[in-house]
Amino acid sequence: MRKPVGNSWIVAGVLLALVLGTAQSARGAPPRYTPDWLSLDSRPLPAWFDEAKFGVFVHWGVFSVPAWGSEWFWWHWQGEGQLGYQLFMRDNYPPSFTYGDFGPQFTARFFHPDEWAKLFQAAGAQYVVFTTKHHEGFTNWPSPVSWNWNSKDVGPHRDLVGELGAALRKRNIRYGLYHSLLEWFHPLYLLDKKNGFKTQHFVSTKTMPELYDLVNSYKPDLIWSDGEWECPDTYWNSTHFLAWLYNDSPIKDEVVVNDRWGKNCSCHHGGYYNCQDKFVPESLPNHKWEMCTSLDKWSWGYRRDMKLADVLSESEIIAELVQTVSLGGNYLLNIGPTKDGLIIPIFQERLLAVGKWLQVSGEAIYASKPWRVQLEKNETSVWYTSKDSAVYAIFLQWPEGEVLYLKSPKATSTTRVTMLGLEGDLKWSKDAYEDLRISLPQLPPSALPVEFAWTVKLEGVK
Ligand SMILES: *[C@@H]1O[C@H](CO)[C@@H](O)[C@H](O)[C@H]1NC(C)=O
Ligand SMILES: *[C@@H]1O[C@H](CO)[C@@H](O)[C@H](O)[C@H]1NC(C)=O
Ligand SMILES: *[C@@H]1O[C@H](CO)[C@@H](O)[C@H](O)[C@H]1NC(C)=O
C-alpha cells in the first residue's frame, strides 16, 4: 500500500510533471508504434544485434527424452502416425505409454547452467537463444498457464529459463528466448483450428499470457518467435504484442525480434529476418538477417541415434559463419543437450573450434560491416568484411604457391597488408591486371594459429 500524501505535494507533483512533460516533448518524445506492420517495421534494430554476429541456439525440452528422430517426435508419432515412430514406441516402451509420460524423465539431473555459459563464452558466442517452449507446449519455466506441463511441476522441478539467464548474464552474454506460438495438441488451439481460426481462445489464455510473462519475468534481449505458420498474424495478435513490446515493455530499448509472427510475415515483417531455417541469401540483402542452423544436420533436439557423419564439420561451420557475416547476417548455431542437461563432447568440440578461430579472426567478424564486394572466387573462395577503413579478406583454402590474388581491393600508396594472428607485414605487389598479389608466409601449417580459414587485413585500399 502507498503512503497517503498531502494536497500541496500533489499540486507540486502535478506541476513538476507538467514541466518535465514539456521538456520531454520539446526534446521530441520517443515515437509510439502503432499495432500495424508499417509502423512496427519502421523501428530501427538495436545496434547490439548486428555487432554480435555469432550466437548459440539451444533446443531442449521433453523431446530430449525419447531423443530419437528429431524434436518433432510427438508430431511424427501421433500427429502423422509415422510407422517408424510407432515401431520405436512399440519396441521400447510399454503399450499404454503416452508422450506425457516422458515428462518426468526430463530430469535435467546434471544441468549446470554455469558450465553451459562458460562453454558458450569460450565458443565466442555473443548471444544465446534458448527454447522456452517448443511446439509440444512444455514450458521450461514455471508458467502459471501451463498446468502440470512445465519444468517446475514436472521433470527438472527447476526454472530452466531463469537459471540459464542468470548464468549467461554473469558473463555478459545476451539472452534470447525462443517461443513457439502454436502447440500441436493444445485443446484450445485445436478448438480455434476447428473454428477456422475465427476464435482466439488459445491466444488469449495461453500464447499471450505466456509471452508477456516471459518478457516481464526474464527481460530477454531477443524474442525468437516460431510456430506461426498455420495462422495469420491477426489470429496471433502479434502486432499488438509487438507494439506493447516496443512502446511500454521493460525491454523496449534493447529488445530484438525475428520475423515469424504469422503466416506470410517471415522474410517480410518484424525485426530481423530468418526467412526459412538454414536460409542463405544469394547476394547482400538490404535487411538484417540471421542464419540459424544446427550442428546435427538432421535435428535441432538431441538424438541418441546421431552419427558422426551427421555432424557439421569444423570447416563447414567456419565457412558458413564467414559467408553469413560477409553477407550481412548473424550466425546462430544450434546444439541439443541431453535430457540430463549434458552437452555431448562432439558438440563441445565443435563450439570450441569456433571459439578458437574467433580468437584469431574475431576482429574481421564482430561488429564488422559488409564490404562493397562480398565474394571473390578464383583458386580459393575469398569472403570480404570491413571495419572502419580496414578491409578483411577471409580465404577458405590455402592457395598453392603461397600467393593470394585479390581482384577487388585497389591498392594505394598507403596500402598495408597483414595476416590476423601473425606478426609483421606481408609482401604484396600489383600484377599486370592491377590485381593484388599477396605473398603468404611460408610456414608449416602447425605454426599457423588457425585452420580452415585465414584472414588478410588490408589497410589503405579502395
Ligand atoms: C489483442 O491485443 C489487444 C491489445 O493489447 C487486446 O485488447 C486484445 O484483447 C488482444 N486479443 C487477444 C485475443 O489476446
Ligand atoms: C501467403 O503465402 C502463401 C504461400 O506461401 C501464398 O500462396 C499467398 O499468396 C500469400 N498471401 C499473401 C497475402 O501474400
Ligand atoms: C587467379 O589466380 C591466378 C593465379 O593462380 C592469377 O594469375 C589470376 O590473376 C587470378 N585471377 C583472378 C581473376 O583473380
pLDDT in tens, 260-277: 999 999 999 999 999 999
Amino acid at residue number 392: Y
Instruction: Please state which of the ranges 177-191, 238-252, 294-308, 396-410 shows the lowest mean pLDDT.
Output: 396-410
Residue 239, phi then psi, degrees to nearest 5? -65, -30
Residues 336, 372: contact at Cβ < 8 Å? no
> What mean pLDDT, rounded, does the chain reach?
93
Q: Which own/partner pairs from 197-200 qualify as long-range (CB within 8 Å, at least 24 positions apart)?
A: 197/230, 197/231, 197/232, 197/235, 200/235, 200/237
Q: Is the pLDDT of residue 393 over 90?
A: yes
Residue holding cell 585479390? 406
Backbone angles phi, psi at 92, to 5 degrees: -120, -15
Q: Cell triple for residue 241?
A: 504484442
CA atoms of 179 and 49, how far apart (whole Å): 18
CA of 206 to the centre of ligand 2 (A): 27
* Contact by Cβ (8 Å): 203, 232: no
**Cell reading at 42:** 519502421
CA distances in angstroms from 325 to 246, 309, 365, 368, 423, listed in the order given: 27, 26, 7, 8, 25
- How far does residue 261's CA lie from ligand 2's centre (Å)? 14
pLDDT over 70 at 2, yes or no:
no
CB of residue 203 inside a 6 A radius of ligand 1: yes
**Rg of the chain taking only CA atoms, in angstroms:** 25
Q: How confident is the model at residue 27 (pLDDT cuts 50, 70, 90)?
A: low
What the block records as the C-alpha cell of 130 is 534458448
Q: Residues 461, 411: contact at Cβ < 8 Å?
A: yes
Closest residue by CA, ligand 1 atom 5: 240
- Name the architecture of domain 44-364: Alpha-Beta Barrel (3.20)
DSSP for 114-163, written as a single string:
HHHHHHHHHTT-SEEEEEEE-TT--BSS--TTSTT-BTTTSTT-S-HHHH
Query: Does ligand 1 have an atom closer than 6 angstroms to the CB of 237?
Result: yes
Does residue 379 or residue 355 have the better pLDDT? Answer: 355
C-alpha 311/C-alpha 346 separation (Å) is: 8
Calpha distance 159→319 (Å, rounded): 36
**More confident of the two residues 41 and 379:** 41
- Per-residue pLDDT, 28: 66
The C-alpha cell of 7 is what? 494536497
Confidence bin at 445 (pLDDT 50/70/90): confident
- In this structure, the residue with its CA closest to atom 5 of ligand 3 is 379
Distance 206 CA to ligand 1 centre (A): 12
Sketch the domain layout of the chain as residue ranges. Answer: 44-364, 369-461
Please state at what angle helix 345-361 crosses helix 314-326, rounded to 10 degrees.
Answer: 50
Q: Whose CA is nearest to atom 11 of ligand 3?
A: 378
Which pLDDT score, from 0 to 100, does residue 19 have? Answer: 43
Q: What is the mean pLDDT of residues 149-166?
A: 98
CA 191 to chain CA centroid, Å, is: 32
C-alpha to C-alpha distances, 336 to 203, 306, 328, 406, nearest whole angstrom? 28, 11, 26, 40
Q: Which of 433, 435, 432, 386 is nearest to 409 (CA)?
A: 435
Q: Quote the CA–CA distance of 182 and 247 in Å, as a whole number.
A: 25
Average pLDDT over residues 423-434: 89
Q: Whose CA is nearest to atom 4 of ligand 1?
A: 240
Mean pLDDT of 185-208: 98
What is the predicted pLDDT for the residue at 447?
Answer: 82
Residue 226 CA: distances (Å) to CA of 176, 230, 297, 459 = 13, 11, 19, 42
Q: pLDDT tens digits for 334-373? A: 999 999 999 999 999 999 999 999 999 999 999 999 999 9
Sign for the pseudo-dihedral over CA of 6, 7, 12, 14: positive
Percent with pLDDT over 70 in the chain: 94
pTM given for the model: 0.92
Q: Is the pLDDT of residue 431 over 90?
A: no
- Enumerate residues 6+ apart whose C-beta is below 8 A from 363: 387, 392, 420, 455, 457
What's the CA gap between 315 and 354, in Å, rounded?
Answer: 10
Q: What is the pLDDT of residue 26?
A: 46
How high is the pLDDT of residue 299?
Answer: 98
Mean pLDDT of 89-112: 98
In this predicted structure, the answer to whether residue 7 has a pLDDT above a threshold of 60 is no
Which of 240, 247, 249 to probe ligand 1 with, by most ligand atoms within 8 A of CB? 240
| Between residues 347 and 10, the one the model is more confident about | 347
Ligand 3 binding pocket includes 435 (Cβ within 6 Å): yes
The 3-class secondary structure across 150-192, one letter per residue, is: ECCCCCCCCCHHHHHHHHHHHCCCEEEEEEECCCCCCHHHHHH
Pick the CATH number of 369-461 from 3.40.190.10, 3.30.450.20, 2.60.40.1180, 2.10.60.10: 2.60.40.1180
Strand order in the sheet with 381-387: 375-377, 381-387, 390-395, 454-461, 411-419
pLDDT band at 442 (very low <50, low <70, confident <90, very high): confident
Question: What are the beta bridge partners of residue 292?
Answer: 332
